[in-house]
Amino acid sequence: MSGTTKEIKRRSMAGEVAVRYFRKPLAVLGAVILAVIVIMCLLAPVIAPYDYDAQDVLRKFTEPCRQFPCGTDNLGRDIFSRLLYGGRISLMVGFVSATVAAVAGVVFGAIAAFYGGKVDNLIMRFLDIFIALPQMLLAIVISTMIGPGIQGAIIAVTIATIPRYAQAVRAPILSIRGQEFVEAAFAIDARDSRIILRHILPNVLSPIIVQVTMGVGNAITMAASLSFLGLGVQPPYPEWGQLISSARVYILDHAYMVTYPGLAIAAVVLALNLMGDGLRDAMDPRWKD
């Protein structure tokens, strides 16, 4: 009995979460899918049989075969290689914008909830203006202002998603703020920044991690949608949404050109959603729906 207790005590919180996470087959599947895709995209220069913009007009519209696993496009470019290189852009846009949005959202949400009163009112009413527009519409408007391109897509997706993170973090902080350990930190005259960073944020870290995990998938889809509308990443960069957008006109005769990029987006987003779901259950078993 005492041995068991010791064993449990020896495990850190992260260890506990990892054990619970790896007991869930779907969550593990999500992690594996994401890991495989990320590694393949990172190793694109090694794995990709061709360069992403290497054209061979004589071999245009080649159906998937041994030489071209996902076929070639209208300019004879290898779609598999373009997917690998494009994945780097899609994943980068997703991870960067979700991380920056989460950090900014947490800062806004934490300051609003911590100081309350006028500060809270000011920040949240300001964010309400952005929340009055659905995320995708907001991203479209922002990218119209900034102009197309990778940078534009990242900024548009980031700004459009900040308010949701702020909202998500504000509610739990409001409830934590009144608890005794925060009062105790006030009592020993701790600095506000220390109370927020050391006492409050660690207690709301779990929902933030889950939200960011799923947020990366959301950001990838939003960026792909912007590219599809012609407002995001532009050719010749083979971002996944851009690949679908430019292949659209050939869909009736060469459906494979649209199928593989779509599969790639769906696989990554599904993997991130599975991971987010698994993490939510692993971090707090009470959240299990």
Partner 1 sequence: MLRYIVKRILALIPVLFCVAFLIFTMMYFSRGDPATMTLGDQATEEQLAEWRAARGLDKPFWQQFGSYIWGIVSRGDLGVSYKTGQHVTQSLLERFPTTFVLAVATCAIAIVFGVLLGILAANRQGTWVDNLLRVLGMAGVSIPIFWLGLLLILWMAVEHQWFPVSGWYGPRYVVLPALTMGLTFTASIMRTTRSSMLDCIRQDYVTTARAKGQRESVITYHHVLRNALIPIITAAGNVFGISLCGAVITEQVFSIPGLGSLMINAINTRDYPLVRGSVLLLATSFAVVNLLVDLLYACVDPRIKAQFVSSARTGAKKPEEEPADKKPGANLQKGGD
Task: List contacts with partner 1 (CB under 8 A).
Answer: 26, 128-137, 140-142, 144-147, 161, 164, 167-168, 170-171, 217-219, 221-222, 224-225, 228-231, 241, 244, 248, 251-252, 255, 258-259, 261-262, 265-266, 269-270, 273-274, 277, 289
Closest by Cα among 269, 251, 254, 209 to 87 = 269
Contact 61, 254 (CB under 8 A): yes
Q: Which is nearer to partner 1, 54 or 96 (CB)?
A: 96
Q: Which is nearer to partner 1, 22 or 126 (CB)?
A: 126
DSSP 255: T
Cβ 134 to partner 1 shortest distance, Å: 4
**Helical residues (DSSP H) of 147-236, grouped into ranges:** 150-177, 180-187, 192-194, 205-228
Q: Which is nearer to partner 1, 185 or 244 (CB)?
A: 244
Residue 250 identity: Y
3-state secondary structure of 199: helix
Cβ 118 to partner 1 shortest distance, Å: 17
Rg (CA), the chain: 23
CA angle 280, 283, 286 (to 5 degrees): 75
Q: Which is nearer to partner 1, 80 or 250 (CB)?
A: 250
Cβ 16 to partner 1 shortest distance, Å: 23
Cβ 184 to partner 1 shortest distance, Å: 27
